[in-house]
Amino acid sequence: MINIKSKMKSFLYTVFLLILSVAGFSQQFSSVTRPNTPPKLVVGIVVDQMRYDYLMRYWSKFSENGFRRLVKGGLNCENAHYNYVPTYTGPGHASVYAGTTPAYHGIVANDWYSREEKKMVYCSEDLSVSAVGGNVLSGMMSPKRLMSSNISDELRLAYQKKSKVIGIAIKDRGAILPAGHMPDAAYWFDGKSSGNWMTSTYYMTDLPQWVKDFNAKGKAQEYLSKPWETLLPIESYTESTPDETAYEGLFKNETKPVFPHNLPEIAKLSGVGLLAATPFGNSLTCEFAMEAITGEKLGQDEYPDLLAVSFSSTDYVGHQFGTNAIETEDTYLRLDRNLADFMAFLDKNVGQKDYLIFLTADHGGAYNTTYMNDNRIPAGNYRLDSLKAGLGRFLKPFYGDSIITTITNDQVYFNKERMKKFYVNAKELEEKSIEFLMSQAGVTGVLNGYDIANQDYTEILNKKIKNGFLPARSGDLVVKYAPGWLEYGKTGTTHGSYYNYDTHVPMLWYGWKIPAGTISEYRRITDIAPTLSFILNIPLPNASTGEPIQAILQH
């Protein structure tokens, strides 16, 4: 009897603990469950070629209402990185919004060699559509090469197309890939002729009246009608190298890369497309984005909308002048003021509690190689056309001419038809090619496509290669280069590698119910889309591999 009572007490105690456990779990669960009240408007901002350290470097000269407002009033994920290679504009924009890497969304580069089409193809090109409101060649664009859904698609699907999605960028790929497969619109800048905002027949057959009205103002020409002076006194730009250095490129009609830049004279040779390579391309983008919010009544009903804005001019300026130039600093200081104006507009027209902003970049940028060498840091330049010619000469005694189709994005594409015709042993060809490639300056390794596709790499750099590799679109060999080695000229800079200067970018969250603070844990750029999925209460993009950010969802 005593034994039975003892067992009964033990049983009841166990049940009691279980009830407490369940209650505790329920309490914990309720603490991370958010009310079903998503923001009325999500604004995704991608700053093209923005390294994370720019936030800190230019901090003292930022206004209180631009980048500082985002950092102080929102959540700063200060250790956010791209987890694949190549780090280019097309893959970057696709990855942010798809929540996955090129291995799954298919945008493996800005341009790649299509074995099926037997030519180089562009990530946004679509010869089946035509221009609306701009240059004929600039209009043959759509998201057809994007293989997965993205957050924009899932938003439209979840709310039966009642949610609006708009993509805006100077670059067509910066507008098209974030907007996804089924947006209301994507608009990009016609830098080839008119200086207008344009689209393609993939989206519509005629521009909305609000776009026509904006274009009629001739804003691009207005911005190019006066010189580019520094925003602040030039002697105050102490975060940059002197105004005249050997590391900076020249505009047409210039003999020195110095302020002031006479835009009216330069435009006589460069045309209206010059605007993209100045900070005023960002200003034009900001103005158009605000006009889109008004014209499309974004954030004004019960269905959440999404506006994807990419500021492209920072990339053009970075490529020409490098990461240390006064021109680059001035471009970011002006962008800071653009962001301040934009957020003030959102406060007034949407309401701070009803909009959510995330700001990131599509990639970073490397230091100029000559600058690095002058400061006794190893770096170097290489050229893919020279590499192709050298490899071709090396292989010619064994396989004759044309065994290589192309080398692009640091990847070697072999001529499969020729290999088949002459019964070339693929493994032998790879081994001979690797022997040559490993002898080249700056090369630290070579991976073959079969191993990339079939091995589960643990080494971080090899894993980044795998994450960016899609057998149907990628090459047969991938060449790895040492830190600081760039496929570029002697002035300016570029990007594309798996090193920190190309992968470490801002990830800022602001508005709605975003908590203020900073987290230093490693976050992947692919974490943005799944976080948005939970905020918006919609399905994850169908190929998403990222993880939602708990610091956001727990509030």
| C-alpha atoms less than 13 angstroms from C-alpha of 155 in its C-beta half-sphere | 33
Q: Is 411:447 a contact under the CB 8 Å cutoff?
A: no
Query: Mean pLDDT across the chain, nearest whole number?
Result: 94
Residue 57 confidence (pLDDT):
98
List domains and CATH numbers for the chain.
41-78+87-373+498-553 (3.40.720.10), 380-482 (3.30.1360.150)
CB atoms within 10 A of CB 30: 8
Cα 79 to Cα 521: distance, rounded to the nearest angstrom: 6
Closest CA to 532 of 519, 520, 544: 544
Residue 412 confidence (pLDDT):
98
pLDDT in tens, 369-402: 999 999 999 999 999 999 999 999 999 999 999 9
Sign for the CA dihedral angle at 416, 422, 425, 429 comes to negative
Residue 377 confidence (pLDDT):
98
Does the structure show a pLDDT above 90 at 229? yes
pLDDT in tens, 303-340: 999 999 999 999 999 999 999 999 999 999 999 999 99
Sign for the CA dihedral angle at 362, 182, 540, 548 comes to positive
Closest CA to 354 of 512, 510, 516, 165: 512
| Banded model confidence at residue 368, pLDDT cuts 50, 70, 90 | very high
Catalytic residue, from 37, 87, 89, 278: name it: 89
| Banded model confidence at residue 519, pLDDT cuts 50, 70, 90 | very high
Laid out side by side, the sheet with 80-81 consists of: 504-505, 80-81, 523-524
Longest CA–CA span in the chain (Å) reads 104
Stronger pLDDT, 8 or 208, i.e. the higher one: 208
Cα 264 to Cα 269: distance, rounded to the nearest angstrom: 10
Residue 554 confidence (pLDDT):
85
| Banded model confidence at residue 35, pLDDT cuts 50, 70, 90 | low
Residue 177 confidence (pLDDT):
99
Rounded to 5 degrees, what are φ and ψ at 298? -70, 140
pLDDT in tens, 176-206: 999 999 999 999 999 999 999 999 999 999 9
Could you tell me where the beta strands, DSSP code E, fall in 424-500? 443-448, 477-481, 485-486
Cα 310 to Cα 45: distance, rounded to the nearest angstrom: 6
Residue 406 confidence (pLDDT):
98
SS3 state of residue 281: helix
Does the structure show a pLDDT above 50 at 9? no
| C-alpha atoms less than 13 angstroms from C-alpha of 251 in its C-beta half-sphere | 28
Residue 36 confidence (pLDDT):
67
Instruction: Average the pLDDT over 254-261 and give the result.
Output: 97
Q: Is residue 33 flagged as an active site residue? A: no
Cα 409 to Cα 497: distance, rounded to the nearest angstrom: 10
Q: Is 150:533 a contact under the CB 8 Å cutoff?
A: no
DSSP conformation class of 440: S
Q: Is 209:304 a contact under the CB 8 Å cutoff?
A: no
Does the structure show a pLDDT above 50 at 1? no
Q: Is 475:450 a contact under the CB 8 Å cutoff?
A: no
Does the structure show a pLDDT above 70 at 13? no
DSSP string, 154-186: HHHHHTTT-S-EEEEESSHHHHHHHH-SS-SEE
Q: Which two tokens stand for residue 215?
A: 């274009």
